[in-house]
Amino acid sequence: MTETDKNFITEQYYLFGAGNNAWGVISYFGKENIIAIIDNEAKRINGFIQDIPIISLEQYMKSHSDGTIIITAAVYEAIEEQLLSCGITNYYVAPMIQMGLASVEQMTADWNMTQMEEIILFGYQPIGRHLVRALYKEGANCRVKVIPQSNKEMEWTKNDHLIIADESDINRDNNVIVFRSEDWNRVSTIKGTDEGVYNIFDLVMETNKRAAELVKWKNIHEGESCILVGNGPSLSVEDLERIHSSKIASFGMNLAYKVYDNTLWRPVYYIFSDYNMMRQYYDEIRMLRRDNLFVKNFYYMDETPMLSDANYYPGCAERCYLEKQRFSDDITKAVYGGYTVMYDALQIAIYMGYKKIYLIGADFSYLGDPATKCNHFYDDKTVDKRVIAGKPHIYISLAAMQKAEEYAREHGIDIYNATRGGKLEVFRRIDLESLI
């Protein structure tokens, strides 16, 4: 890397989307490399995340319109259209870094990258650029080549004065970094081996290394039945009492403990997949029984101490649920998102070995704005609306349920929907009264 190449290393970025993923993106790039966060919600404008100002797109257009934008919103298509309609093409869609992307320092250390003579980046975008910066800081003298995957990436590569390569440059001896899982197989096929192919999403981040302990739950309930209790408005306290009186194990989720004062029901297992809830209700959650508590391990979980005796499971940094939904058969590696905690619960329950799984309170229908209408069986008035407000992406959740049904059918697992009403028709229906 030459002296003239050092200029690109210092580039800073703008984020678009002040939601959860912004925290993970900031954690990966460092807040010193984020100028501002663009958002469309008026209530967020002029606020801050980690001292980074939140601005409107109009403000960006007036005073900041030459910077690279990283879209952090989970559902990004509408934002892409918005940017393109304004003539903005200098943007990149970030993966769900909140779910588990390792830091560049860990990447360089775990892969011993400073000792590599040549590195080929299969694709080039801000994540790759940040990785190159880390290599430079570590004093690496390796030769960096890039195989751009789009015209935009070609432009960035040229601007950064890196060597442009093509697939013919890939051989059995060199090291190739890929930034999408689907490219791993492609590169491995070209090389004729998977040695020397590194997928940034396969690297287990330091905060997720304790996930290896989850192996103790593998097939612990092989052949048994369980009930996954969702929080939909169709659920009643009477249903919970019926479940309590039965001998079937149950899973509770998110803020279901809010009704504990009204019922004897206590789930055998409890799952928290929403970091906003975890952060806001931390003092209440840490009072719950924790050896049965499963918590999604968010990369940026720095404001709430980790519960030493809870089970932290890794999410996935890829937006697989927006393209081709995946279902994990190994929760020590990843639990894929589906915009519903029920999808997390299904992956965990199946990993435990349950063969008959019943869903209740899985309405998959929303009455309207959560800020004004009840979308949970518990009293929504007890919940801060900032936690649950927002557009529900039902189509993503239903696609996830379809994937779960396919996986279950292929592996001899029966999933039934005991919910009253609702819009989840993927699974066979069954009446709760006939079940217990």
HEC-encoded secondary structure of 38-76: ECCCHHHCCCEECCEEEECHHHHHHHCCCCEEEECCCCC
Looking at residue 376, its pLDDT comes to 63
Answer yes or no: same fold for 7-94 and 104-202: yes
Average pLDDT (172-186) is 90
Range 104-202: architecture per CATH = 3-Layer(aba) Sandwich (3.40)
**Which has the minimum average pLDDT: 178-182, 187-191, 247-251, 430-434?**
178-182
Looking at residue 56, its pLDDT comes to 96
Looking at residue 102, its pLDDT comes to 79
> What is the chain's alpha carbon radius of gyration, rounded to the nearest angstrom?
23
**For 7-94, CATH number?**
3.40.50.720
Half-sphere exposure for 368 (CA within 13 Å, toward CB): 4
Q: Whole-number mean pLDDT of the chain?
A: 86
327, 403 in Cβ contact below 8 A? Answer: yes
Contacts from 32-41 at CB under 8 Å and sequence distance 24+?
Answer: 33/130, 35/64, 35/67, 36/60, 36/64, 37/72, 38/14, 38/69, 40/79, 40/82
Of the segments 31-35, 154-158, 225-229, which one has the largest average pLDDT value?
Answer: 225-229
pLDDT, tens only, 310-339: 999 988 766 665 567 889 999 998 898 888
Half-sphere exposure for 235 (CA within 13 Å, toward CB): 31
Can you count the helices (H) and strands (E) in the chain? 15, 19
Separation in Å, CA 15 to CA 32, 206, 390: 13, 25, 19
pLDDT of 64 strictly over 90: no
Looking at residue 141, its pLDDT comes to 83
Average pLDDT (204-209) is 72
pLDDT of 113 strictly over 60: yes
Range 206-435: architecture per CATH = Alpha-Beta Complex (3.90)
Q: Is 276 helix (H, G, I), strand (E, B) or coil?
A: helix
pLDDT of 370 strictly over 70: no
Q: How confident is the model at residue 139 (pLDDT cuts 50, 70, 90)?
A: confident
**Which has the minimum average pLDDT: 63-67, 139-143, 289-293, 336-340?**
63-67
pLDDT of 369 strictly over 60: no
Using DSSP bridges, classify how beta strands 428-429 and 414-417 pair: parallel, antiparallel or unpaired: parallel
Of the segments 71-75, 107-111, 290-294, which one has the largest average pLDDT value?
Answer: 290-294
Rounded to whole angstroms, the Cα distance separating 38 from 46 reads 10
**DSSP string computed for 4-36:** GGGGGGG--EEEE--SHHHHHHHHHH-GGGEEE
Looking at residue 24, its pLDDT comes to 82
pLDDT of 373 strictly over 70: no
**Percent above pLDDT 90 for the chain:** 56
**Which has the minimum average pLDDT: 87-101, 102-116, 269-283, 420-434?**
87-101
Looking at residue 431, its pLDDT comes to 94
Average pLDDT (124-134) is 89
Average pLDDT (198-215) is 82
- pTM exceeds cut of 0.75: yes
161, 11 in Cβ contact below 8 A? Answer: no
Looking at residue 391, its pLDDT comes to 46
pLDDT of 390 strictly over 50: no
70, 35 in Cβ contact below 8 A? Answer: no
Looking at residue 298, its pLDDT comes to 77
25, 99 in Cβ contact below 8 A? Answer: no
Domain ranges of the chain: 7-94, 104-202, 206-435
Q: How confident is the model at residue 367 (pLDDT cuts 50, 70, 90)?
A: low
More confident residue, 66 or 156: 156
- 430 burial via Cβ count (<10 Å: 0-12, 13-18, 19+): middle
* Interaxial angle between packed helices 20-29 and 126-137, expressed in degrees from 0 to 180 and rounded to the nearest 10: 30
Looking at residue 327, its pLDDT comes to 93
**Which has the minimum average pLDDT: 130-139, 159-168, 224-233, 304-313?**
130-139
